[in-house]
């Protein structure tokens, strides 16, 4: 049926009085928007967030109750901040309802941004999405029937980052009209035309004609319902989203009224919404899965059998399964894990510990089974500047997998395509750094996508501008070092080294100083280097400001190792890197390793245009070459992501940041160019040295310096 034709002639306006089924729907909306608004308002990277009411109606009912636009506007207005703004976009096509909507929102326009649109959702959504851009947005799609919500527009929303939807899937209306859609072969021309129109509407609604297979074949009403709602949910799920359809029955009849279909790419948001549904007082009108009863013992048994024999299973991996495929919540899962743990008193389950060990579990019926925590003292969940986003389970995972190794087809900086490892296992140890998109304009940042070996996180040196201050600003310990489980590191590393044939460098210093654990009884260097020396294809990269190289000097052989020292001009280091060893001590350590046969690289980063910078940095280069000739030198200038700037206490360095890029703020272009050009010319003229690259620099800078970023040989790659 065409979107301009209603499914039936209403006996009365739906906005005369709010029905019982609508109360439930509005409760769920309100109880989710409250935590959503709190979270959005606390995210430093979010400056604005949007609520979009796709079928807003009149704003309030004739009987006085508030509709969804007013419910949302009042909640979001309570969480406005000075540097943060919510915007409520309300779409309504009916002229009379639109005029009432505008009037009902009038009292809030001075408190919160309200943006009413008169028109069809399908006609205005493209403009709305352009206006929202990359900002987070929650879409409430609540039509009277089932037309006007074509799947291609729903899909368009979900393909963008930080967007989530709550759709009222009007199953009762759909199942009534599928019978009419069967009249395609009717001899009655009017019925045929109506059936054709309905079929086209259903195909647009589902985004596929497969609905015909389920709607037209003889089957039980329950099975037909399950097949149709699963078809719609799976269509959404194919967009890499977590999806759950919440069923609502008629208050007085054992029949399905509608489904609220929620979708998001964010596991935290998904967990919150499912909790909201289970707390809803009228949840007796909802069933999480058709024809299935709750059985807590069966739930525990299923967990044991599913993860039997696995070590260090990430909690979020288990949670993802539970939320998507069972009737249970995060609270239920934690209770189940407590119940499984037969050594609960001596080995309690910690709320923030993300790893669990199922290796000793056979099944729940085995009374001697133990549920153990992996590395409960050291491993903690990381809170990043965004809500943690975890991709859903299969069937939406489409990348090839081999022995726990995920492979993606990557487009390289030179335009070539190559099949490369994306991560090993859950990605907690080995994962590709791919946060910089391929460049397409002069201000885009160049950074090849290298592999991280995430053995730890944190750093003891507390440099003023360290981006870890932003990354870990939500941790109580901030950048205090935390070491991961060596057994898991060895397991994932050996799996990678044994299976991957394309040579790679694995960087151990992206979120930690690579030598910060050298004073321990089991130093990381003596643990990891022998593992790499078992083969001759891949190398491990250490990046450090430390001068503690005693263990490295004792390790033989070390053919598969690269050591990279981060250096700065002495004047700059004394001012902003004062907890790190002096530059001269770092240089002495680098010289010792070079003389011992290690490949030693140097990063002069971040260069800062302080007073007399030219003298300070040219003297640094002279000090380096007075001791040894580095295998490679990478230059970088001062930069700061907004999260880094927010997380730092010493902000004096920020006065040098005047230019924006897609990797935070930078030193002004000309000042950067002069610094780079001065050092590059010095290296060429005085030392005949040309193994130089740039770190996190723009395509415009590479071009200005006459350097080809497509042939990049910087610190973290071959």
- Weakly modelled stretches of the chain, pLDDT under 50: 1-12, 282-293, 343-355, 359-403
- 576 CB neighbour count, 10 Å cutoff: 21
Number of domains in the chain: 3
278 and 411 inside one domain: no
* pLDDT at residue number 44: 78
Q: What is the pLDDT of residue 335?
A: 83
The CATH number covering residue 630 comes to 3.80.30.30
The per-residue pLDDT for 50 is 96
Encoded tokens for 383: 């809170």
| CA dist., res. 661 & res. 647, Å (int) | 19
DSSP reduced 3-state for 113: strand
* Range(s) of the domain holding residue 521: 401-711
394 exposure class (CB count in 10 Å sphere: 0-12, 13-18, 19+):
exposed
Beta carbons within 10 angstroms of residue 480's beta carbon: 13
Indicate whether 262 and 312 sit together in one domain.
Answer: no
- pLDDT at residue 210, as a whole number: 85
CA angle 14, 19, 25 (to 5 degrees): 100
The span from the CA of 430 to the CA of 424, in Å, is 5
**pLDDT score for 140:** 97
Structure tokens, 338: 């407590």
Q: Which H or E run contains 137?
A: strand 137-141
Q: Which residues pair with 562 in a beta bridge?
A: 541, 599
Q: In the prediction, which pLDDT does 403 show? A: 43
14 in a structural domain = no
For the chain, the residue count is 718
Instruction: Measure the CA angle with vertex 465, ends 459 and 467; round to 5°.
Output: 60
Question: What's the pLDDT tens digit per position in 2-60?
Answer: 433 334 444 445 555 566 778 888 989 999 999 999 999 888 788 899 999 999 998 88
Instruction: Let me know: does 522 contact 486? Beta carbons within 8 Å.
Output: yes
Q: Which of 251, 285, 319 is the last residue of a domain?
A: 285
438 lies in the same domain as 321 = no
Is residue 333 in a domain?
Answer: yes
Q: Is 385 inside a domain boundary?
A: no
- Please report, for residues 310, 423, 594, the alpha-carbon distance to residue 243 in angstroms, rounded to integers and kept in the order given: 26, 24, 54
In a domain, 389, yes or no: no
Claim to verify: residue 425 and residue 366 sit in the same structural domain: no
The pLDDT value recorded for residue 2 is: 40
Residues 537 and 626 placed together within one structural domain of the fold: yes
End-of-domain residue from the set 355, 373, 391? 373
Measured distance CA(439)–CA(446) in Å, rounded: 7
Whether residue 336 is contained in a domain is answered as yes
Question: What pLDDT score does 344 carry?
Answer: 40
Whether the CB-CB separation of 444 and 666 falls below 8 Å is answered with: no
Judge whether 11 lies within some domain: no
Cα(517)–Cα(511) distance, integer angstroms = 14
659 and 528, same structural domain? yes
602 and 703 housed in the same domain: yes
Q: What pLDDT, on a 0 to 100 scale, did the predictor assign at position 328?
A: 85
- Mark whether 428 and 481 lie in a shared domain: yes
């Amino acid at each position: 049926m065409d979107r301009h034709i209603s499914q039936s002639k209403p006996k009365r306006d739906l906005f005369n009085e709010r029905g019982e089924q609508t109360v439930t729907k509005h409760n769920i909306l309100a109880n989710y928007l409250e935590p959503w608004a709190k979270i959005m308002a606390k995210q430093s990277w979010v400056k604005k967030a949007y609520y979009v009411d796709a079928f807003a109606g009149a704003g309030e009912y004739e009987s006085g109750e508030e509709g969804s636009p007013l419910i949302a506007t009042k909640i979001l207005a309570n969480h406005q901040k000075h540097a943060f703004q919510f915007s409520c976009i309300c779409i309504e096509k009916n002229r009379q309802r639109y005029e009432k909507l505008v009037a009902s929102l009038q009292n809030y326009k001075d408190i919160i941004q309200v943006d009413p649109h008169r028109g069809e959702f399908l006609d205005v959504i493209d403009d709305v999405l352009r206006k929202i851009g990359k900002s987070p947005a929650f879409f409430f799609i609540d039509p009277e029937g089932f037309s006007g919500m074509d799947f291609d527009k729903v899909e368009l929303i979900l393909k963008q980052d930080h967007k989530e939807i709550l759709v009222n899937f009007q199953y009762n209306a759909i199942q009534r009209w599928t019978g009419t859609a069967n009249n395609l072969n009717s001899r009655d021309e009017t019925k045929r035309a109506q059936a054709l129109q309905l079929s086209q509407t259903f195909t647009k609604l589902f985004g596929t004609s497969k609905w015909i297979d389920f709607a037209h074949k003889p089957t039980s009403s329950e099975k037909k319902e399950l097949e149709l709602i699963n078809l719609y949910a799976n269509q959404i799920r194919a967009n890499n989203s977590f999806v759950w359809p919440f069923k609502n029955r008629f208050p007085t009849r054992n029949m399905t009224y509608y489904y609220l279909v929620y979708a998001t790419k964010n596991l935290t948001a998904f967990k919150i919404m499912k909790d909201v549904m289970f707390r809803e007082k009228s949840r007796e009108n909802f069933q999480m899965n058709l024809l299935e009863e709750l059985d807590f013992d069966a739930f525990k048994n299923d967990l044991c059998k599913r993860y039997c024999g696995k070590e260090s299973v990430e909690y979020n991996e288990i949670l993802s399964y539970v939320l998507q495929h069972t009737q249970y919540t995060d609270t239920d899962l934690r209770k189940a894990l407590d119940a499984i743990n037969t050594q609960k008193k001596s080995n309690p389950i910690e709320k923030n510990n993300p790893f669990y060990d199922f290796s000793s579990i056979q099944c729940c019926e085995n009374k001697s089974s133990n549920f153990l925590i992996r590395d409960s003292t050291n491993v903690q969940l990381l809170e990043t500047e965004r809500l943690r986003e975890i991709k859903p389970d299969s069937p939406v995972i489409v990348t090839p997998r081999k022995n726990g190794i995920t492979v993606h087809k990557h487009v390289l900086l030179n335009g070539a395509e190559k099949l490369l490892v994306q991560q090993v296992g859950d990605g907690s140890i080995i994962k590709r750094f791919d946060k910089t998109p391929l460049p397409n304009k002069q201000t885009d940042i160049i950074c090849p996508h290298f592999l991280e070996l995430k053995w730890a996180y944190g750093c003891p040196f507390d440099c003023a501008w360290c981006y870890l201050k932003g990354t870990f600003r939500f941790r109580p310990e901030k950048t205090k070092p935390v070491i991961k489980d060596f057994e898991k590191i060895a397991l994932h590393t050996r799996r990678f080294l044994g299976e991957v044939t394309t040579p790679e460098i694995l960087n151990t210093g992206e979120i930690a100083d690579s030598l910060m654990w050298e004073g321990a009884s089991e130093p990381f260097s003596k643990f990891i280097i022998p593992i790499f020396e078992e083969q001759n294809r891949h190398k491990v990269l250490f990046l450090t400001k430390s001068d503690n190289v005693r263990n490295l000097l004792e390790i033989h052989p070390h053919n598969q190792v690269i050591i990279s020292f981060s250096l700065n001009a002495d004047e700059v280091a004394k001012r902003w890197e004062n907890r790190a060893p002096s530059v001269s001590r770092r240089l002495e350590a680098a010289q010792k390793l070079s003389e011992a046969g290690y490949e030693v690289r140097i990063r002069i980063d971040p260069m800062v245009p302080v007073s007399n910078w030219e003298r300070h940095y040219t003297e640094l280069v002279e000090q380096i070459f007075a001791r040894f000739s580095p295998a490679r030198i990478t230059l970088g200038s001062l930069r700061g992501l907004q999260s880094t700037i927010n997380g730092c206490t010493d902000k004096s360095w920020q006065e040098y940041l005047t230019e924006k890029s897609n990797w935070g703020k930078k030193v002004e272009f000309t000042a950067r160019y002069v610094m780079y050009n001065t050092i590059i010319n010095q290296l060429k003229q005085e030392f005949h040295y040309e193994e130089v690259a740039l770190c996190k620099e723009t395509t415009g800078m590479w071009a200005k310096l006459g350097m080809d970023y497509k042939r990049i040989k910087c610190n973290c790659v071959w």
